[in-house]
Amino acid sequence: MATSDKLIQVKNLKKHYNEGVIKAIDDVTVDINRGDVMVVIGPSGSGKSTFLRSLNLLEVPDSGSIIFEGVDITQPKGPDGKKLNLDVHRQKMGMVFQHFNLFPHKTILQNMTLAPMKVKGLPQAEAEAKALELLGRVGLADRANAYPIQLSGGQKQRVAIVRALAMEPDVMLFDEPTSALDPEMVGEVLDVMKELAAAGMTMVVVTHEMGFAREVGNRVLFMADGKLLEEGSPEDIFEHPQNPRLKDFLSKVLR
Amino acid sequence: MLTSKGFEAAFSYWQLFLQGVVCTVSLSALTVVLGFILALLLAVCRMGRARLLRILAAAYVELFRATPMIVQVFIIYYVVFNGVKVLPGVKLFGFIRFDRFFPAVVALALNSGAYLSEIIRSGIQSVDGGQTEAARSLGLNAVQTMRFVVLPQAIKNILPAIANEFVTIIKESAICYTIGVQDIMSAVNAVKGATYRTGEALIIATVLYFCLTYPTSKIIEHFERKMRRGDIR
Ligand SMILES: Nc1ncnc2c1ncn2[C@@H]1O[C@H](COP(=O)(O)OP(=O)(O)OP(=O)(O)O)[C@@H](O)[C@H]1O
Ligand SMILES: [Mg+2]
């Protein structure tokens, strides 16, 4: 699936906190191609989350640009000269969070149909049929009328993934999707992500699961201190690391 | 001291007490509605992007929370409405003097708006930021996110505090007899003047206030329990 078709171009991205004392992202430039499964690794506080959250502008960068499907979404105005409607672009980028962030006052089905109905204007019946089909794919169709509180962590995260998929995004962003899970539930979530990758979805995944990075990723980014220090295929990164920071990091996580 | 004769004498003015109850209830109910609308506006200003509005709303809230209610009522009545001269002398329900009642509603609503806005603000802030992030990343806009995701959760969190404020308003509205509003306290005053049965009149007033506030808090507690049950289901 991987072609050279650029889906997201990140150019000279910078994000500082505390008047520049903390450089959460320090001049990062990278292209994400359609069909890529890009895994972002690095030590805690290296800026992985900030980078990922900048892609859909949950975090507004201080400078640099994010060009998504040809449109620079960091600009106040779109290519047509009118005010840029960020929501239009955001709905094409699904996001999965460490803590699931399901809506607790809504059933699983309502969680999944809210955005398709309110944002895309899908009729309820259609939105529900689609939601049930997606839930079936992750083995949770029978939980459609349950509330999030009634599900296990692994089930919640699978719902969160298909909730994002219900908007038919062009790319899926994952921020440590398995870090809040009990170990026995990590596998079921990773399996869903693997299937998604196999189906050709473009994915950017921040994770500490090095096995997943190796097996599923086609590109790996290593970040430290807000900088993109090394980039390559899983083989490059894990078998032939160059940067001493990366070697040090790997020696700690791959014991 | 308190005698059954005294209660009989006080009770013979039951119509005054009844009017007092009607007046106190209308005063409190109107105050809550107007106060809530004002509170929503204040909360939106305080959390909005416009710096000037943020500062003004914050100043308003602090001012009204830091000064005695009776001073606020007197300022509204004597200064703003110039001691009734600017208002029509209509009577609501055939007895409530509008020129006294209206300034009282305004003063109470301005005061409780300040308190309620803090309650609403804390309710909105009590909703996890991840909820907003999830909604926005699905493509919902700011208004949809507030309406479908944040507010439903916020209101559930603040229902007890709003109920509390309603009960507080019923009690504090008693101050309004000082500007001639014919509420329960003003009935006490009239009975006192006519019969000198102050103790008996006050006990009747106590019972009446209790009968208003206690069921109110119980009813809202009931709804609260029901909503909480909905949480677990
Ligand atoms: N809102 C904020 N205010 C101030 N500093 C922040 C803020 N958000 C992030 N930072 C800082 O920016 C840096 C990068 O944070 P980020 O969360 O992106 O790291 P991370 O690589 O995701 O770490 P982890 O593996 O712990 O999740 C850290 O030093 C962090 O303390
Ligand atoms: Mg992080």
- Helices B98-125 and B151-172: angle between axes, nearest 10 degrees: 150
Looking at the complex, report in whole angstroms how far the Cα of residue B81 sits from the nearest Cα belonging to chain A: 46
Provide the pairing of β-strand A219-224 with A37-41: parallel
Query: For chain B, what's the residue count?
Result: 233
Rounded Cα distance, A131 and A139, in Å: 12
Q: What is the pTM of this model?
A: 0.83
Mapped onto helix, strand or coil, the DSSP state of residue A3 is coil
With 0-12 / 13-18 / 19 or more C-beta atoms within 10 angstroms meaning exposed / middle / buried, residue B232 is exposed
Please give the pLDDT value at position B156: 84
A51: CA distance to ligand 1 center in Å? 10
- Residues A117-131 pLDDT 10s: 999 999 999 999 999
Mean pLDDT of all residues in A64-79? 92
**What is this model's ipTM?**
0.93
Q: What average pLDDT does this structure show over A167-171? A: 97
10 Å Cβ neighbour count for A9?
17
CA of A208 to the centre of ligand 1 (A): 16
Name the helix (H) or strand (E) containing B166: helix B151-172
pLDDT at B149: 96
The pLDDT of residue A29? 97
**Average pLDDT in the B191-212 region?**
93
pLDDT at residue A195 is higher than 70: yes
pLDDT over threshold 60, residue B230: no
CA distance B183 to B175: 9
Q: Is the pLDDT reported for residue A59 higher than 70?
A: yes
Question: Which residue's alpha carbon is nearest to atom 1 within ligand 1?
Answer: A17
Give residues with Cβ within 8 angstroms of B183, minimum separation 6.
B20, B23, B24, B27, B173, B174, B176, B177
Residue A3 has pLDDT above 60, yes or no: no
pLDDT at res. A99: 96
Closest chain B residue to A113, measured at CA: B138
Assign B231 a pLDDT band (cuts: 50, 70, 90). low
Return d(Cα A37, Cα A34) in angstroms, integer. Answer: 9
Provide residues with CB under 6 Å of ligand 1: A 17-18, 22, 24, 42, 44-50
Where residue A1 falls among pLDDT bands split at 50, 70, 90? very low
Give, in order, the Cα–Cα distances in Å from B26 to each of A144, B31, B91, B160, B162.
46, 8, 13, 22, 18
Put simply, whether A132 touches B (Cβ < 8 Å) is no
Protein residue with least CA distance to atom 5, ligand 1: A17
Which of the four pLDDT bands, split at 50, 70 and 90, describes residue B221?
confident
Q: Does A58 touch chain B (CB under 8 A)?
A: yes
Nearest CA in chain B to A86: B139
Residue A2 clears pLDDT 70, i.e. is over it: no
Mean pLDDT calculated for residue range A126-137: 97
pLDDT at B22 over 50: yes
pLDDT digit string, tens, across residues A37-46: 999 999 999 9
Which among B139, B156, B232 is the nearest to A87, CB-wise? Answer: B139
- From B128, B137, B153, residue closest to A105, measured CB to CB: B153
Give residue B83's pLDDT band: very low, low, confident or very high (50, 70, 90).
low
Q: Which two tokens stand for residue A160?
A: 């969160």
- Kindly give, in sequence order, each residue whose CB lies less than 8 Å from that of residue A96, ignoring residues fewer than 6 positions away: A157, A160, A161, A164, A172, A173, A174, A175, A177
Pocket test for ligand 1, best of A16, A26, A46 (most atoms within 8 A of CB): A46
